[in-house]
Chains A and B, each alone.
Chain A
């Protein structure tokens, strides 16, 4: 079904052209109520049960802005190093589409609440790229359409559509970058890193969970190419609703290759919206983009201007948390790991989990080892986020403590974690139920060691001759005999002791 466009290789595209990007990110705020009325924003409600005359656009209803919505917008603006407007208004964006019952979206046009900022983002290798922010403005989400009668729920070919307006009016903050220039071949990576950093920031501010898979954060990728050495921007395409970090990177990459193919074939890029396809990472043509003037924006007469006092703005500035990139850099130093390792921790969504595990008493290296090793593997296998695994940082910290006390070795600790994940209880309960304690009975351990030495006289001789490295084989034999329940370090000590060798 997907129309295949001609593509040139990514390398060839970059050899001839310089990409310029603009990213528009919509964040659904986590307020309890909608932006302009008191309807609940709770997810999962039955259709059209969280609507009122205001969000349905019924005659005679009047909107009133949500104070927390404005406060969140200012916080986001401040965290993005923006100026905050002294005075600004809402505007009506008029369009005919049934996802807004009012026939317009209440948004902001030429007077955004926050403007002219930047966000520094770190790439995989630690290089920091500054993305300039054009503006962040307040608006509202649209209702949810279900298209009936067409193929796979698509709007094309549908006989009619059904509308649920529960989502209509939920506060959105749209964050728009200035044109991102100079990223070159790293443009797709910059796009991804920017959206990732923005997501961290939004979460740190506590204004939204910014879960992309839930549509709480959505990205539109504008991209154009210009021949190397030219200043003027090429015509852009706008790929809508790219809803995962990986997709943001893929969409940018695909559009670079597609644009390059069109341009180098002597064609012209049409200014249009594009749809992104998760299955193969391609984009297809959507509608021809309307010009801003076609929306006939005008100041919203039903809402009064928002004029945040400087006192309020400074109060909010004082509440800003440590910014994610600064915090990561601090933690990276505390944990003594590289940029690249920290990036992996970030990508795995493990930072807060490791911090909580350390707070619960575990050494940082141990906490990181479990979350980034065994648990990351499990989260991949099960296809769930790390934080969604049924194990708490406190439980992981307890496992670390049991290992430190010598009651568990690594192998047993893995089994304990497996038990916790399987719902068998806290680490101590799993140890009891599964009988997983390390064999610390010196007598039993000594017997196993003697047996291993007797059974492997050749190896024992080598060790006696000073080849201490050979002890590993005997340790292995003892571990096997004790079914992994021995403390390997102690076993090694006993072997060397018995063979009269210094470790």
Chain B
């Protein structure tokens, strides 16, 4: 298994919007390597006869009828918002000047 490079950690950091320092890149590269190595052991156990699973219960086709149910009120919906304006969630600048 190839090791995780600093570049890959930097890329992940960008996708996660995390600002990582140089020493953190090295630190996390080692850690991620270990984590991925640990998880990869699962594939050693799972043979061809074991299908990948994404849900603990053997269920399919759980659906609900297309019937409207009560929503929250706008006040309730916004009650946990750090900031609001015009009955909308207020979020910081999305794109900087570029």
Contact = CB atoms under 8 A, between A and B. Distances in A.
A454 interface: no
A164 B87 CA distance: 8
Contact of B66 (A32, A51, A52, A299): A32
A155 B77 contact: no
A158 B77 contact: no
Task: Please indicate which of the listed interface residues A89, A157, A158, A305 has the most CB atoms of chain B within 10 Å of its own CB.
Answer: A305
A498 B92 CA distance: 87
Given A39-B68, A48-B77, A64 B62 contact: yes
A64 to B, nearest CB: 5
Interface stretch (B22-30, B31-39, B41-49, B53-61): B53-61
B98 to A, nearest CB: 8
Given A50-B71, A160-B92, A160-B93, A67 B65 contact: yes
A96 B16 CA distance: 8
Nearest to A68: B66
B62 A65 contact: yes
A69 interface: yes
B91 A163 contact: yes
B93 A56 contact: no
Interface residues of B, number: 38
B69 interface: yes
Contacts of B67: 32-33, 38
Main secondary structure of the interface of A (DSSP, over half): loop
A161 B87 contact: no
A298 B39 CA distance: 15
A165 interface: yes
B1 interface: no
Given A162-B89, A165-B89, A300-B54, A155 B66 contact: no
A146 to B, nearest CB: 7
A421 B5 CA distance: 71
Contact of A98 (B69, B71, B89): B89
Contacts of A52: 69, 71-72
Task: Please indicate which of the listed interface residues B17, B61, B91 has the most CB atoms of chain A within 10 Å of its own CB.
Answer: B61
The range of chain A's interface size is: 35 or more
A53 interface: yes
Contact of A299 (B54, B80, B86): B54
B2 interface: no
A325 to B, nearest CB: 29
Contacts of B73: 49
Contacts of A89: 54
Interface in A111-163: 145-148, 155-163
A296 B15 contact: yes
A56 B73 CA distance: 13
B78 interface: yes
Nearest to A69: B66
Contacts of B71: 39-40, 49-52
Interface in B73-98: 73-74, 77-78, 80, 85-95, 97-98
Nearest to B83: A160
A259 to B, nearest CB: 24
A160 B88 CA distance: 12
Task: Please indicate which of the listed interface residues B60, B67, B78, B85 has the most CB atoms of chain A within 10 Å of its own CB.
Answer: B60
B26 to A, nearest CB: 22
A72 B69 CA distance: 20
B68 to A, nearest CB: 5
Interface of B: 15-17, 54-55, 57, 59-74, 77-78, 80, 85-95, 97-98
Interface of A: 31-33, 37-40, 46-53, 56, 58, 64-70, 87, 89, 96-98, 101, 145-148, 155-165, 290, 294, 296, 298-301, 303-308
18 contacts: A38-B70, A39-B68, A51-B72, A52-B71, A52-B72, A96-B17, A145-B94, A148-B85, A157-B97, A158-B95, A160-B90, A160-B91, A161-B91, A163-B88, A290-B15, A299-B54, A303-B62, A306-B61
